[in-house]
């Protein structure tokens, strides 16, 4: 079944650690996105990609980085986690006109 997967679902990590949030999709979509969502708040686009070797920063400034070496894989990395990075991170992919397919999210807590 075609889907989009995020791991881990929950992560508690200490300040200063490097972390990578994984996102993979099996639908062959060219477009992929990372959103940050704080509790009770709207979604903010932090990174997007329109294909392999294409990455762009989104509307919300973020200290994270992304890479797109393979169509199906779009990991997000934080080099040095801080408590201000505590949030839910949602990965999505899309094809033209069909809206987004979202993963289940990674809830990150930095202590």
Partner 1 sequence: AQSVTQLDSQVPVFEEAPVELRCNYSSSVSVYLFWYVQYPNQGLQLLLKYLSGSTLVKGINGFEAEFNKSQTSFHLRKPSVHISDTAEYFCAVSDPEGYQKVTFGTGTKLQVIP
> Does the protein bind partner 1 through residue 25 (CB under 8 A)?
no
> Does the protein bind partner 1 through residue 31 (CB under 8 A)?
yes
Chain residues 34-53 in contact with partner 1, contact rule CB under 8 A? 40-43, 45, 48, 50
Residues 6+ apart with CB under 8 A from 52: 68, 69, 70, 71
Euclidean distance between CA atoms 10 and 30, whole angstroms: 27
> Does the protein bind partner 1 through residue 100 (CB under 8 A)?
yes
Q: How many other β-carbons are positioned within 10 Å of the β-carbon of residue 6?
A: 21
Query: Residues 90, 93, 108, 110: which binds partner 1 (CB under 8 A)?
Result: 90
- Cross-strand bridge partners of residue 34: 47, 91
The least CB distance from residue 25 to partner 1, in Å, is: 12
Query: Residues 6, 24, 25, 62: which binds partner 1 (CB under 8 A)?
Result: 6
Q: How many other β-carbons are positioned within 10 Å of the β-carbon of residue 28?
A: 10
Chain residues 63-82 in contact with partner 1, contact rule CB under 8 A? none
Complex with partner 1: residue 79 or 95, whichever CB lies closer: 95
Q: How many other β-carbons are positioned within 10 Å of the β-carbon of residue 8?
A: 12
Query: Residues 24, 36, 87, 94: which binds partner 1 (CB under 8 A)?
Result: 94
């Amino acid at each position: 079944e075609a889907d989009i997967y995020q791991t881990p679902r929950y992560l508690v990590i200490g300040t200063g650690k490097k972390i990578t949030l994984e996102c993979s999709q099996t639908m062959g979509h060219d477009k992929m996105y990372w959103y940050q969502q704080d509790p009770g708040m709207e979604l903010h686009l932090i990174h997007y990609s329109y294909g392999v070797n294409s990455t762009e920063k989104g509307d919300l400034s973020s200290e994270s980085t992304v890479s797109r070496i393979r169509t199906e894989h779009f990991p997000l990395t934080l080099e040095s986690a801080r408590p201000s990075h505590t949030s839910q991170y949602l990965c999505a992919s899309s094809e033209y006109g069909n809206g987004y397919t979202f993963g289940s999210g990674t809830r990150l807590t930095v202590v």
